[in-house]
Chains A and B, each alone.
Chain A
Amino acid sequence: MTQGPRNRILRALLALVALVLGRRRSPPEPPSRDEPPLTAEREVGARRRSENVALVLLAAATLAAIGFSVDYVADPDTQVLGLCLGAALVLIGAAAALAGKRVVPREKAVGEYHEFGDERRQEEVQAIVSEPGEGVSRRRLLVVAGGTAGATLGAALVVPAASLGPRVRDRVLTTPWRRGVRLVDSHERPIDADAVAEGTMVSAFPDGAPRDSLGASLLVVRIPPGELDMSAERRAGAPEGIVAYSKICPHAGCAVSIYRHPLNPPTAPEPALVCPCHYSTFDPRRAGALVFGPAGRDLPQLPLQVNAGRQLEAAGDFFDPIGPSYGGIRTR
């Protein structure tokens, strides 16, 4: 038997009308206000042992967090620091998990969702929230222990702020280099001008000055004088083609420790000083001009001179501010 299409459309329309009318005539029943309580199980009364364990965990967390601060101030060892911080976090987490499972009242509730804004429900919820200590025999002690652990952990996170030193500005602007300061190698030996052969690179430091300041370390290379492309003033600071640049990249302060020197210039890249962190690339022939990479300015050049004993010494301070870009010295 086949039904005609008209018949089918008619039945569909009838069904729709019945649905609309039916919905209008019987609105959904409002949720009953007199439901039985939702709680299916309620267990009140902390187990004394669990409380004790939670207290011990919190105390251990406190000790670990204090340990972090003490180690940081006394004799920082990164592995000890990490261990202390990790232990404090794990112990607090374990204490919280234990408290949630074994100390505060536990109840399992099953219920339907209702409309929001039900005042009686809100009161119930508030009552539940305000009674977490029900059955906990040493609530105050637990709260104090938790607070102490949290506070010491917070202190551990704040203590490293002590490492923030004085403002960096003055230290960056002053370098140990003055006219006549000799260049020495990593073993404090003076550097002979002839030892800086073409194609080699030499790391140099100021004679008799600390090496940990930003301006101390240098990279010294020899460029054939005919290839130098720089102002007369800077060229005067490159005796025999020996040029010195700050070893600290003006981008992020890494050591510019790569000297790209082509063995067979026609088939290899041109000479460059390269920082291995983000590959800022500078041209040692053109006064450290930036040719590639994220650095905002050129590599600072230090003027050199050769003294009577053929040793290299500074002919003055850097031509440009040294160190990573900061504050006003961000761009060329």
Chain B
Amino acid sequence: MRRLPRPLQIVVALVLSTAALLSLGGGAPAQRASGTALERQGRQLFVEGCSDCHGMDAGGVAGRGPSLRGVGELSADFYLRTGRMPLAAPEDEPERTESPYSRREIHALVAYVGSFGGPGIPRVDAESGDLAEGFELFSEHCMGCHQVVGRGGITTRGIAPDLQSARPVDVAEALQIGPYVMPRFRDLAPSEVDSLARYVVSTRDPVARGGWGIGNVGPIPEGMVAWLLAGVALLLVIRLIGERTSR
């Protein structure tokens, strides 16, 4: 049988799921999806864009996407606002991109996923964090992957993103979730999370003690620049102390 084109698939899925919902719904007083108007809009977007992997009612699909019941607004906000979801293929590593959804659509999707319960979007006050404490915590927990300057790095079979565009709330959410292959750090006190967020924000514009940070990407470009400058200096010295023959 020929596969239906994608828009049609979505429409069929939508019709079927609505029908299933109506038949289930009967006289149940508090159907989840029939919450606020925002949640209904979110559900529609969810069925269209997320249900392939996460299931029609966010219950997950074995081998593809996990259940989103109970992950809360926290996870939905993190993955959608940073453009990590939707993914092209379920085995891809979620990476920060421009989200295909508008802010309003993200708001609706977050409200829908949040309607199943779970933690809300955390409050972070990076301004009140302690930079020194943040540096200490970052060195102990985060530096191995993200580098002390927050420029990101790799692990085997995974990429640790750079944190230059991470907002304080992204930091707090990632610590709770442990996205992709990152460990979770749920035992941190709220004040410690504030400090970490402040440190992460501070890495956007770090103090370059040597005077010239060269992108703060580490010793290799620094070494290359040193060799280049030293090479030019050596050539000048050679010209200075050498003599030209007349012929």
Contacts and interface: CB of A to CB of B under 8 A. Distances in A.
Interface of A: 93, 97, 100-101, 110, 186, 195, 197, 199-201, 203, 221, 255, 257-264, 266-269, 272, 274, 276, 279, 281, 292-293
B72 to A, nearest CB: 14
Nearest to B53: A267
B157 A269 contact: yes
Given A260-B155, A260-B181, A269-B157, A197 B186 contact: yes
Given A197-B186, A201-B183, A269-B156, A257 B143 contact: yes
A263 B177 contact: yes
A310 to B, nearest CB: 15
A269 B186 contact: no
B78 to A, nearest CB: 11
Nearest to B182: A261
Contact of B181 (A203, A257, A268, A276): A268
Nearest to B187: A195
Contacts of A267: 63-65, 90-91
Contacts of B186: 197, 200
A269 B180 CA distance: 9
Contacts of B156: 260, 269, 272, 274, 279, 281, 292-293
Interface residues of B, number: 37
**The 6 residue pairs across chains A and B that have the minimum distance between CB atoms:** A257-B144, A269-B157, A97-B241, A260-B181, A199-B184, A258-B144
Given A258-B145, A264-B66, A269-B158, 13 more contacts: A97-B237, A203-B140, A255-B144, A260-B155, A261-B183, A263-B177, A264-B65, A267-B90, A268-B91, A268-B93, A269-B156, A276-B145, A293-B156
B185 A258 contact: no
Contacts of B183: 199-201, 221, 259, 261
Given A260-B157, A260-B158, A269 B145 contact: no
Contacts of A258: 144-145, 155
B140 A269 contact: no
A247 to B, nearest CB: 10
Nearest to A256: B144
14 contacts: A100-B241, A101-B241, A110-B247, A195-B187, A200-B185, A260-B157, A261-B178, A262-B180, A266-B90, A267-B64, A272-B155, A276-B144, A276-B145, A276-B155
Contact of A266 (B63, B178, B185): B63
B59 interface: no
Nearest to A186: B140
Nearest to A260: B181
B62 interface: yes
Interface string B132-155: 000010001101110000000111
Contact of A200 (B90, B91, B181, B187): B187
A197 B65 contact: no
A202 to B, nearest CB: 9
B153 A197 contact: no
Nearest to B154: A279
Contacts of B177: 263
A259 B240 CA distance: 55
Contacts of A110: 245-247
Interface string B115-147: 000000000000000000000100011011100
B70 interface: no
Nearest to B90: A267
A193 to B, nearest CB: 13
B181 A262 contact: yes
A279 B153 CA distance: 11
A276 B62 CA distance: 32
Contacts of A272: 155-156
A43 to B, nearest CB: 13
A201 B187 CA distance: 11
B55 interface: no
Contacts of A197: 184, 186-187
Contacts of B182: 261, 263
A97 to B, nearest CB: 4
A260 B144 CA distance: 11
For A260, A264, A281, the residue with the greatest tally of chain B CB atoms inside 10 Å of its CB is A264
B179 interface: yes
Contacts of B158: 260, 268-269
A184 B54 CA distance: 40
A93 B237 CA distance: 10
Contacts of A264: 65-66
A69 to B, nearest CB: 24
A199 B153 CA distance: 20
